[in-house]
Amino acid sequence: MSDPTRISTVSRGLDDLTAMWRIRALEEKTRDLRLAEEVVGSVHLANGQEAIAVGACSRLRPQDALYATYRGHGWAVARGVPPREIFAEMLGRVTGVNGGRGGSAHFSAPQHGFHGENSIVGAGAPIAVGAALAARHDGSGRVAMTVFGDGAMNQGAVTEAMNFAAAFGLGVVFMCENNRYSELTPINDMVANTDLSQRATALGIPAVRIDGNDLAQVRTAVQLSVESAAAGRGPSFIEAHTQRIVGHYIGDAEQYRPVGELDADREVEPIAALSRRLLAAGVVEQTIERCEQRAREEMDRAADAALADPFVDPSTAKEHLYA
């Protein structure tokens, strides 16, 4: 007799694995397009950090507002933005989420609750606080989540945003993706206290530190934070420990990494870790491999479709600008 609990757990695990592979496959396809010079400009990939986006977005509600970092392609995918529209934006096509004007670093899709990336480190935090303040008056019940890296914790705007949210009891979830590197510099070389969550605690914000590679921990932390914010209990802070298994940007030589670090990181990154757990649960290898195959095929189709779309007209560059 089959075990319904086991079947449910395995099914959920395969769904989670596919969701993370969709992000990984999109990022790797983006890398290929950038190296082929189809995509231009600086591009930052989130390989190895997929569990945070997948877990968090599974607990955000439709009315909630998400503000990602410049490493935000995966967050957009997890929030439901169609991959073809993401590729088209990076490729400068009219079918992009912003008509090809924003590129990799500045795209947004508010109809999906994804309010954009930002190339200014930590700049999403005060914008999210503004969205939470507006929610107090517009009756939307909206909770705002802002995502930033460990390096952004040293930006004054982030601390000011956290303090404002705490002082006024605003519904903001501050998500710090601590991947140990502030661009090319280890966070350990930049701060005396590496427990970044204590900064939030000092401001009166409830804070937790979690394993950002563990989907269950991410989901629990985000759900509690969203529920607390929606109930009017103010902001919260999540420090999610993870790792990126690619450079800070495409072309990064990564000479700052100690020998053996990447090999160790590849053992614990969320796709590898979940694949091992599924194998241990009795899932056959071919079933696990199909999750990757389906994701790669989807992203290949999306990229090919975007490449066939027309370029944006350069003469429209000054449209949709406000001063």
**pLDDT tens digit string along 275-309?**
999 999 999 999 999 999 999 999 999 999 999 99
Cα-based torsion angle of the residue sequence 181, 264, 117, 17 in order, rounded to the nearest 10 degrees: -160
233-264 per-position pLDDT tens digit: 999 999 999 999 999 999 999 999 999 999 99
**Residue pointed to by tokens 């590849």:** 266
User: Domain segments of the chain: what residues?
Assistant: 40-273+300-308
State both tokens at 128: 């999210």
User: What's the 3-state SS for 29-48?
Assistant: HHHHHHHCCCCCCCCCCCCC
If you write DSSP's letter for every residue of 91-138 in order, what string do you get?
A: TTBTTSTTTTSSTTTS--BGGGTB----SSTTTHHHHHHHHHHHHHHH
Residue 319: what pLDDT?
86
Residue 67: what pLDDT?
98
Q: In the chain, which stretches have pLDDT less than 70? A: 1-7
CA distance 38 to 93: 11
Identify the CATH homologous superfamily for domain 40-273+300-308.
Thiamin diphosphate (ThDP)-binding fold, Pyr/PP domains (3.40.50.970)
Residue 7: what pLDDT?
66
Residue 322: what pLDDT?
79
Nearest to 156 by CA among 120, 187, 188, 184: 120
Cα-based torsion angle of the residue sequence 220, 225, 226, 229 in order, rounded to the nearest 10 degrees: 160
